[in-house]
Amino acid sequence: MADLTTESRSNLQVNLIGLEKSDYRGDTTTLCQGCGHNSIASQIIAACYEMDIQPENLIKFSGIGCSSKSPAYFLGRSFGFNGLHGRMPSLATGSMFGDHTMLAIGVSGDGDTASIGMGQFKHVMRRNLPMVYIVENNGVYGLTKGQFSATAESGLTLKGYGTNPYMPIDLAWEALVGNATFVARSFAGDPKQVKELIKAALSHRGIAVLDIISPCVTFNNTDTSMHSYAWGKEHEVALHELSYVPEREDILVDYEEGDMIDVTMHDGSTVVLKKLEHDYDPTNRSHALSILEEANTKNWLLTGLIYIDTEAPCLLDIFNLTDTALNRLKEHQIRPSRESIDKVNAMMF
């Protein structure tokens, strides 16, 4: 029988383990139409389907925020834990010790990670927990009505919040200096790149950080734009202020490796995306640091796989765990013998 490529299989009704794409879906989204987070959820569904992942072999994690709600909208058959704000890393660490045979996907926001969760983020990087860590980065706290987050650019002016006086935190940079073993950046409107990076991240045995720029169409906008929240509100008086959400089209881009493109956001502002060159070597850490620094100086958003180290041992390898997951061992297997207790006690005195 001919060997089917992943791409040709994705056009068929079922994947190699006999599941349909619908087996990877979750609940219907309650996020705003056009929110970048929805597009990322769709690419997680597509990546897991195409990789023939058994949904029951995967755990989803999140913290708090619109982004952190999104695990409800993909992989409805998988396990899931929506934790406290900024505490996703410790939750994931404990769970993965409980069952190291699972795959882990975490979805966090820029507020959840770069503000309240920054300490936990840094430690899960250096511990190299095997987990896909997606940050849906929109520069605001979307869920709590759009305050600046720690990744918002300095000088950005938003209605109700004035002008942001602080320099932004670059999460790809923080991951890299924190010794992450997989660091990538993308844009929610580039589904092809997002999907490929998610697949690569799922194949990585270690922490895989995906900083995905994911526009908040409701709050990260300005008053003067024709597509702004304020403009829309002026033209639709019948809607209640708190429930009003402007309907927006997803912003989609398609560009080649090495290319640089300007993308106009819903508020009329522009971001410059630069895809890494085809011959870029992501295993060179110091080069990765220098190109990120250059991109920041020039105000580009560098997209693609920025850094990967496939040699570093992951947290669960270091701890020499049993082949059987700890949460599946029987009581008699986890109870230490009298001799080993005596041995430990003898070492104390």
128 binds, among ligand TPP, ligand SF4, Mg ion, none (CB under 5 to 8 A by kind): none
Tokens coding 262: 């300007």
**Residues 111-130 close enough to bind Mg ion by CB under 5 A:** 111
Nearer to ligand SF4, 178 or 215 (CB): 215
H runs (alpha helix) in the chain: 6-10, 36-50, 66-69, 88-98, 110, 118-127, 171-177, 191-203, 229-234, 285-298, 315-318, 331-334, 338-348
**CA quadruple 20, 26, 27, 31: dihedral positive or negative?**
negative
112 binds, among ligand TPP, Mg ion, ligand SF4, none (CB under 5 to 8 A by kind): ligand TPP
Tell me which of 142, 189, 232, 246 binds ligand SF4, using CB under 6 A: 142
- CA–CA dist 311, 297 (Å, integer): 31
DSSP element (H, E) containing 157:
strand 157-158
Whole-Å CA distances, 319 to 26, 126, 322: 34, 15, 9
| Binding of residue 217 to ligand SF4 (CB under 6 A) | yes
In angstroms, give the least distance from the CB of 245 to ligand SF4. 6
Q: At what angle do helices 36-50 and 191-203 cross, to 10 degrees?
A: 50
35 binds, among ligand SF4, Mg ion, ligand TPP, none (CB under 5 to 8 A by kind): ligand SF4
Residue 159: what residue type?
K
| Binding of residue 109 to Mg ion (CB under 5 A) | yes
| Binding of residue 210 to ligand TPP (CB under 6 A) | no
| Binding of residue 64 to ligand TPP (CB under 6 A) | yes
Whole-Å CA distances, 326 to 43, 58, 107, 322, 333: 31, 16, 25, 7, 10
Residues 6+ apart with CB under 8 A from 327: 98, 99
176 binds, among ligand TPP, Mg ion, ligand SF4, none (CB under 5 to 8 A by kind): none
| Binding of residue 110 to Mg ion (CB under 5 A) | yes
Instruction: Enumerate the β-bridge partners of residue 134.
Output: 107, 210
| Binding of residue 188 to ligand SF4 (CB under 6 A) | no
327 binds, among ligand TPP, ligand SF4, Mg ion, none (CB under 5 to 8 A by kind): none
Per-residue contact flags (x/-) with ligand TPP for residues 131 to 150, judged by CB under 6 A: -----x-x-xxxxx----x-
- CA–CA dist 116, 195 (Å, integer): 28
Which residue ranges make up the site for Mg ion (CB under 5 A)?
Answer: 109-111, 138
- Residue ranges binding ligand SF4 (CB under 6 A): 31-32, 35, 37, 66, 138, 142-143, 216-219
- The residues that touch ligand TPP, with contacts defined as CB under 6 A, are 64-67, 85, 109-112, 116, 136, 138, 140-144, 149, 216
